[in-house]
Chains A and B, each alone.
Chain A
Amino acid sequence: MLSLPVLAQVVVNGVNLGAIYILMALGFTMIFGIMRIVNFAHGAFAMLGGFALYFLLMDAHVPFLLALPLGALLVGAGSLLAERFVLRHLYHNELQGMIATLGLSMVMIYLAAIVFGVSQRSVPAVYSEIFFFGPLVVPMDRLVVLGIAAVTLLLFFLFMRYTKPGLAMRVAAQDLEVAEAQGINAAAHYQAAFFIASSLAALAGGLIGQLYALSPFMGATPLMKSFIVVILGGLGSIPGAALGGLLLGMAESSLTTFFGASTAQLASFGIVMLVLVLRPQGLFGHAERDS
């Protein structure tokens, strides 16, 4: 069972899974890091991303490579309504933010159930080619997922690292009052951060909808995975989310291959509890300081 091709396959699947988890977790950790909100509605935005992709492909016949980012941006734009009417009033209020976004998530899920119906659909496979690299089997759709995730992550890192709004978001996350005293319009940057985070979730949702299945309830699992990733990486840490996502993807891929899917789920949540007990700041996070 433990042969080179199997190991290679585990790596391919793990990296793929990890890429999706990172897309989900980045937005989740960003909203917490900057606005101090644990966004329980993050999974629901992923779900909307899945449906947006579905309708753009099926009804509007937009080509896949255009439909995916377009759907993500549409959901991101729509998320600004939630920002305006719900989240804006809860920034830096962790408990109320958690409860309100939990409510928001339920509202979104059941609205989707009413509008789209509860039956599972799937985004049809756009790419059916399968590549063989020696003994390695790589379906084209996985390669596309990987490519899209890689490009998105690169753009995200460049944005946060080298642009003025990226810097403004990073310093506002560290000290809001002092950031505002530098001339940074925090409210506008919060809006932008929320737009980016929801768009990333929606993009991940589109990819999940294509690789797995589409339903109003599909956001729950990616939300839980985001939790695991950011707990591994340290809540609010962007490099932590990247490493945590990859780690979780690889762990699930290998555990699923060798011990089955149930064991993989059990182990990933088991590891989270272990990390929380032994290293509560996450593997790469910093301990919270009193301010």
Chain B
Amino acid sequence: MSLLEVEGTVAAYGSIRATHGVSFSVEENEIIALVGSNGAGKSSTLKAIMGLVRLAEGSIRIDGDSVSGERPYRVVRRGVAFSPEGRRVFAATSVLENLMAGAHILPRGRAHERLDQIFSYFPRLRERSHQLAGNLSGGEQQMLAIGRALMSRPRLLLLDEPSLGLAPVIVQRIGELICEIQASENLAVVLAEQNSNWALRLATRGLVLEVGRIRMQDSAGELLRSDYVRRAYLGM
């Protein structure tokens, strides 16, 4: 039994279908890269797992139990966390409160313990803990968005475009942090990225999404070597 099983999911916004039957599974303790161009259905797939968009068809199971059509707050309680595209930190709220909001499902004492742990991964956030999140730099906001998602002690972390709009040196740093945190917490990570090269280098496995369907699915190394992926996504 896999940690996450996604089967034939069709994510829909009203009557518009963003994906047309996506199936994959995520095992514990692995990083999966979900690559594809803009509009391929990466975000919609993550949001369908979270319960943030309507699931028109298909099923989503966590540890074998269906969470299809569940409200997001219930999915979070099953151990899934989500860092949205464009970071979407709570701008008018302090860094500390952003993190505490991420620990909504934990009792206060455990939230404070977790806070210390998150600050040890992101010392920058500790320095800035009393500033408004809206005043952070793009890279710091991305760290905050990831830290906020991690606050709930998830087993599965869904990251939507964490490299978007960041300088290469920051992107590299964020990649290192994702690997470090993944290893120390035995996390499963799904990394939806347009920056395919970067994402596949971090990941153990990869999925290539095209117009709402999975086009290829293989180990990250194989995908990086594949002629198709090299031509279509890596610009080689």
Contacts and interface: CB of A to CB of B under 8 A. Distances in A.
Interface in B145-179: 148, 152
A286 B90 CA distance: 15
A171 B84 contact: no
Interface string A165-192: 0011011001101111111111000000
Interface centre among B50, B81, B88, B152, by most chain A C-beta atoms within 10 angstroms, is: B88
B93 A171 contact: yes
A25 B90 CA distance: 24
A196 to B, nearest CB: 19
A61 interface: no
B31 to A, nearest CB: 20
Contacts, number: 62
B212 interface: no
A174 B92 contact: yes
A180 B73 contact: yes
B152 A178 contact: no
Given A174-B93, A175-B88, A181 B104 contact: no
B71 A182 contact: no
A182 B104 CA distance: 7
Interface residues of B, number: 25
Contacts of B97: 167, 170-171
Contacts of B72: 180-181, 183
A177 B82 CA distance: 11
A182 B52 contact: no
Contact of A171 (B71, B90, B152): B90
Contact of A182 (B91, B92, B101): B101
Contacts of A183: 72-73, 76-77, 104-105, 152
A84 interface: no
A181 B82 contact: yes
B206 interface: no
Given A180-B71, A182-B102, A170 B93 contact: yes
Contact of B101 (A177, A184, A286): A184
A182 B88 contact: no
A174 B90 contact: yes
B108 interface: yes
B200 interface: no
B100 interface: yes
Interface string B98-111: 10111011001000
Contacts of B90: 170-171, 174-175, 178-179
Interface string A182-213: 11111000000000000000000000000000
Contacts of A174: 90-93
A92 to B, nearest CB: 15
Interface centre among A168, A174, A178, A286, by most chain B C-beta atoms within 10 angstroms, is: A178
A183 B100 CA distance: 12
A183 B92 CA distance: 20
Interface string A41-77: 0000000000000000000000000000000000000
B101 A167 contact: yes
Nearest to A168: B104
A181 B101 contact: no
Contacts of A182: 76, 101-102, 104, 148, 152
A167 B52 contact: no
B84 A181 contact: yes
Interface centre among A167, A182, A184, by most chain B C-beta atoms within 10 angstroms, is: A182
B75 to A, nearest CB: 8
A210 B90 CA distance: 41
Given A174-B90, A181-B52, A164 B84 contact: no
Interface centre among A170, A175, A180, by most chain B C-beta atoms within 10 angstroms, is: A180
16 contacts: A164-B104, A167-B93, A167-B100, A171-B93, A174-B93, A175-B88, A175-B90, A177-B52, A179-B90, A179-B101, A180-B71, A180-B73, A182-B104, A182-B148, A182-B152, A184-B101
Interface of B: 50, 52, 71-73, 76-77, 81-82, 84, 88, 90-93, 97-98, 100-102, 104-105, 108, 148, 152
